[in-house]
Amino acid sequence: MVMGPTHAVSGALVGLLVADVLPREWGGPTSTAETLAFAGVCAGAALLPDLDTTQSTVARSFGPVSQAAAKGVGAASAGYYNITRGKRERKRTGGHRTMTHTALFAVLLGSGVTLLVAQFGRAAIIATLFVTLGLALRGLFGSWAKKYGWFVVTLVTAVLSVLLWSAFPGDVGSTGLGVAIALGCATHCLGDAITKEGIPFLAPFVPWRGQRWWEFKLPDALAIRAGGPFEVVVLGPVLTLAAIGFAVWSVDGAPEYITGALKASGLSL
């Protein structure tokens, strides 16, 4: 799998980009606080599909609780795969890169969050922020998270969740969070699709040559090795710089200030 930090920063970048064009009626952010919160949720959600293995960043994010959840999701994913697999596909005991790495999972999870927030309001918003921001911290600030451990990360996340819940106002909050969750999961799948293993994004509804869990993947010559030199030296740093750049650009008034400064210096965008 692509490493946790790469998933998280790609989710943050996609969140920042989509926040700029997403209509308000779809939950589009209208302020800097909303935009950064939206991007944070996307960054955390971009780790969620790997909850199907205990070896992932998400499984280590909340100590024994997330470890237990990963075991359960992994078992459920394996069971779902075995029930829906095609005639040419062998039975599996592990569920990694199956159920949670599909378009269906992204849509259902995003829709489920939307319904929960619409039903329970502030409590559901804080709970969603708590989970996703905790994952974002673990993914984006891995060294810090390892140094202080999952308990401190959990405490910091709880404080951030309460402080940021107001960034999703009631009239668009439920849709906005649901879109951010689905977007983050889809971004994760896109990241895994460029590796040599690929992902079964359309499973199990689009059979192909006797297989329901066939995988989207790049040709071997173009696919990257997860955790390899290209991801560490090129992909990760480039995504990080892009995310920082768009985060600065999303600050209220920043585009006008930057454009004005460039014009004053004889340059222009």
Is the confidence at residue 170, as pLDDT, over 70? no
Give 193-251 pLDDT, tens digit per residue: 998 888 999 999 999 988 999 998 888 888 888 778 888 888 889 999 999 998 888 88
Is the confidence at residue 149, as pLDDT, over 90? no
| CA distance linking residue 18 with residue 41, whole number of Å | 12
More confident residue, 252 or 166: 252
User: Which of the residue ranges 100-104, 122-126, 158-162 would you say has the lowest mean pLDDT?
Assistant: 158-162
| CA distance linking residue 177 with residue 126, whole number of Å | 11
Give 244-259 pLDDT, tens digit per residue: 998 888 887 777 777 7
| pLDDT mean over 124-145 | 84
Q: How confident is the model at residue 25 (pLDDT cuts 50, 70, 90)?
A: confident
- Residue 256, CB-side half-sphere exposure with 13 Å CA sphere: 2
Is the confidence at residue 79, as pLDDT, over 90? yes
* Ranges of each domain in the chain: 4-264
| CA distance linking residue 114 with residue 128, whole number of Å | 10
CB 150 within 8 A of CB 61: yes
Q: CA 19: distance to chain centroid?
A: 14
Q: How confident is the model at residue 1 (pLDDT cuts 50, 70, 90)?
A: very low
| CA distance linking residue 150 with residue 126, whole number of Å | 19
